[in-house]
Structure 1
Amino acid sequence: MRANPIYKRERTVGSRSIRLPMILTVFNSILALVALLNMYSMVSQVEVTAEIQYSAFMELYTFGAMIVFAMILFIMPALTAGSISGERERQTLDLLLSTQVTGLEVAAGKLMASMYNVLLLLISSLPVMALSFVYGGIGLWDLAFLILSFLASALFTASIGICFSALCRRTTMATALSYGMLVLFVVGTYAVNQFIWSMANMEMTGYANQIGGIGSQVNSGGFLYLLLLNPAVTFYEIIRGQMGWQETMTSAAQWFGSRPSNLVLEAWVPVSVILQVALAGLFLAAAVWRLSPGLPRRRRSGEKKEESQGKQPV
């Protein structure tokens, strides 16, 4: 089994670029600054009250995880949106596809290169994230599960960028559509549920004074399951479970009205991760379809002009 040539080339080119080292430096500087401020505030509190707040280490873990997750959401579309469209702009994509390299290898190689960068990002953040091990509260399996969820979110966001990079001719358009699709999943799914729930509450306003507790029966219906495609909600549920916030923080299943429990609501995180990975596979399949030669596509206007000029009588 031969190694993916696109991945090897991306690794070679990436090792010569200053972009990844700069991202790692800025990212770890932010994490280190947060950790130092957290430790400083803890020491200052000990000097005043002579008490150690062990929950501060848990807060550090939570805040660090939030920074990593936000970096994944914002960086991955930027890293992948120009991966294929950039080849097209440099006029190297057609040459690449004219070789023995297939469209699947191109998409997979670009994806593997972006996932490699995310893996470096996660590994570099482990020392700060592991500070929560000093006084317990977070176990090794909790951290491993969080990293796996980060990789699933990275796969989901990277596949969106690669899909639009293959479909669009310009990197700017691919980047805009990638971020737009990500906003649709993160903000749009929540906004739809909020709108449906608000409309249902408005319809029940006239009866609320007559029938007690009817407001608790209002919910967003089946639109709640759209949140399964929201990586931010998945991250929230993971942190909520690891921090023990079941009693203080409302579950995503109950955000928009109470509803009877079922298998999907009880296994929200596994179902959500599976659906997002499956959707990532669909985005990658669309990219492979666009890159595969021999499939019917619209010809460019320039190609049509050349063909019409070639048919002119001599």
Structure 2
Amino acid sequence: MLHFNPVYQKELRTTARSLRTYIIIFAFNGLLSLFGLFALYLTFEYQQNLGKNVQYSAILEIYSIITGVEFFLLMLVVPAVTAGAISGEKERQTLEILLTTRLTSGSIIRGKLLASISMMLILAFSSLPVIALVFSIGGITLRDLGEFMVLILETAIYLGSIGIFFSVLLKKSTSATVAAYGTVLLLSLGTFGGVWGIHFLTQMHLDHMAADATAVMQADIGNWMLLLFVNPIATFLSILKGQAGTGRSLADMYGRFGNLSPGLNEHWFLLSAGIQIAISILLLLLSARILNPLKGNKGKFKNNKIN
């Protein structure tokens, strides 16, 4: 891919030579280390100072804290990195020159996205020593760590495609960044709020209908819970629920708001990741079509050939 995509090659060289890259890596791992060491201190040293027994099962909570912080930082970094990928070229007035080359619009989009994903993978792999704190005690396997890295890659593609789409659609990097963050916020908190709102209204309707009844009726919104398939936070919680059992908030939401089939609960990560990748592919195809300078001139070219 490095050989066949000049955009990716150029972006990778620029990223590797930029001081901004090293500052991001240092800040990312610095914050992650602080949270990890603080969680380790609270779990062991602080408990011993209080005269309490140390629960070694708490190492799973440390894993959840470290991976949660890393996932949150990922959600903050990816839209900012990708939202200026194409709009930055527009502002520097270099996009027209790039479009006059033999590269297709799809190649340009893929190169920009791959460069952004590479940055996220560098951050993820550089954070492995911090995550490896949990291996000093046990409770987490290499398979769990591998699943988390797959989640990081999938989320980077998902959020990166959103940033690339708005970067193509809008002219200014600031506008693209705001739109990307707004969309991520809508997908993350908006879907949770939507599910809660639907359940609240349904419960109010049931309470009104059963005002004279002695039995209490619990609302079940059922398939409305599938809205969370597009929510990256719900996907992360499904990973924690399977690995450490600490993502119980998702399971609690299932039980409180609705009942899904056991197959959906068991394979939530695979299904949600598949849907998010499908959305990413659709956004990238739309971005390539919008970026294509010939999309609106095909009819003109045909008429010129006929004349």
TM-score, normalised to structure 1's length? 0.87
Q: 1:82 maps to which residue?
A: 84
Aligned residues of 2:109 and 2:287 also touching (Cα < 8 A): yes
- How many residue pairs were aligned? 294
Aligned residues of 1:208 and 1:214 also touching (Cα < 8 A): no
Does the alignment pair 1:277 with 2:277? yes
**How far does the alpha carbon of each residue in 1:106-153 deviate from its partner, in whole angstroms, 9 at most, with x for none?**
111111111111011111111111111122110000010011011111
Which residue among 122, 125, 129 is the counterpart of 1:123? 125
Q: 2:19 maps to which residue?
A: 18
Q: 1:58 maps to which residue?
A: 60
TM-score, normalised to structure 2's length? 0.89
In structure 1, distance between residues paired with 2:89 and 2:287 = 14
Taking the TM superposition and a 5 Å limit, the aligned residue runs for 1:1-314 are 2-41=3-42, 42-46=44-48, 49=51, 51-206=53-208, 207=210, 210-215=213-218, 218-245=219-246, 249=249, 251=251, 254=254, 256-261=256-261, 263-296=263-296
AA matched with 2:109: A
In structure 2, distance between residues paired with 1:62 and 1:35 = 10
In structure 1, distance between residues paired with 2:57 and 2:27 = 27
In structure 2, distance between residues paired with 1:252 and 1:153 = 23
Larger displacement relative to structure 2 (257-266 or 171-180): 257-266
CA distance 1:176–1:35, change in 2 (3 Å): closer
Identical pairs, percent = 35
Aligned residues of 2:234 and 2:250 also touching (Cα < 8 A): no
In structure 2, distance between residues paired with 1:214 and 1:35 = 44
In structure 2, distance between residues paired with 1:222 and 1:37 = 40
Contiguous gaps of at least 5 residues in structure 1: 298-314
What SS does the corresponding residue of 2:93 show, helix, strand or coil? coil
In structure 1, distance between residues paired with 2:252 and 2:158 = 20
In structure 1, distance between residues paired with 2:160 and 2:286 = 13
Q: 2:302 maps to which residue?
A: none
Cα deviation for residue 98 of structure 1 reads: 0.5
Larger displacement relative to structure 2 (278-287 or 26-35): 26-35
In structure 1, distance between residues paired with 2:220 and 2:52 = 48
AA matched with 2:66: G
CA distance 1:121–1:263, change in 2 (3 Å): same
Aligned residues of 2:15 and 2:21 also touching (Cα < 8 A): yes
Cα deviation for residue 256 of structure 1 reads: 5.0
In structure 2, distance between residues paired with 1:260 and 1:183 = 25
RMSD (CA atoms): 2.1
